[in-house]
Amino acid sequence: MMDGLKPCPFCGNKNVYRYKERLPSDTKPQYQVICDWNSGGCGSSSGYWESMKEATDAWNRRCEVTE
């Protein structure tokens, strides 16, 4: 698990990573956090965000469980 990232909310895998992607047609890079499929994770992601902080915050956000 990378520092500051919570485990995957779907499978619990601790091997999650930050990813920066720049497509040829994009002028700005896009950022996301991904649960590492290659190390037993489920491959879920935070979706694409304009900054790494936004992607990290989206990944770490959890719904509160109420009874």
- pLDDT tens profile 9-45: 999 999 999 999 987 777 889 999 999 999 999 999 9
pTM exceeding 0.85: no
Q: Give a yes or no: residue 37 inside a domain.
A: yes
Would residue 1 count as lying in a domain? no
The reply to whether 6 falls in a domain is no
Q: Which long-range CB contacts under 8 A does 8-16 form with residues at least 24 apart?
A: 8/35, 8/41, 8/42, 8/44, 9/44, 9/62, 10/35, 10/42, 10/44, 11/35, 11/41, 11/42, 11/44, 13/39, 13/40, 13/41, 13/42, 15/39, 15/40, 15/41, 16/41, 16/59
- Is residue 67, in this structure, part of any structural domain at all? no
- Is residue 33 domain-resident? yes
Q: How many domains does the chain have?
A: 1
Q: Which domain holds residue 55?
A: 16-60
pLDDT recorded at residue 3: 76
Does 66 map to a domain? no
Specify if 45 maps to a domain: yes
Residue 30 lies in a domain: yes
